[in-house]
Amino acid sequence: MPETRIRSFVPQRVRLTEGQQNAWDALWPVHGGDVSAVDRLEVTGPTVLEIGSGNGEATALMAAAAPEIQHIAVEVYEPGLAHLLIRLRAAELQNLRLLRGDAVDLLDRAVPERSLEGIRIFFPDPWPKRKHHKRRLVQPDFTALAASRLRPGGWLHLATDWAHYADQMLAVCDACPALTRDPASDPWYPRPDSRPLTKFEQRAVQEGREIRDLLYVAQ
Contact 212, 159 (CB under 8 A): yes
Q: In what order do the strands lie in the sheet with 150-160?
A: 32-34, 96-100, 70-75, 47-51, 116-122, 150-160, 212-218, 179-181
The active-site residue, picked from 108, 125, 174, 182, is: 125
Is the distance from CB of 215 to CB of 155 less than 8 angstroms? yes
Active site residue 161: no
- Count other Cβ atoms within 10 Å, centred on residue 131: 7
Under a CB-based contact definition with an 8 Å cutoff, are residues 99 and 74 in contact?
yes
CA distances to 102, 153, 180 from 133, rounded to whole Å, are: 18, 30, 24
How far is Cα 144 from Cα 146, in angstroms, rounded to an integer?
Answer: 6
Q: Which residues are catalytic?
A: 125
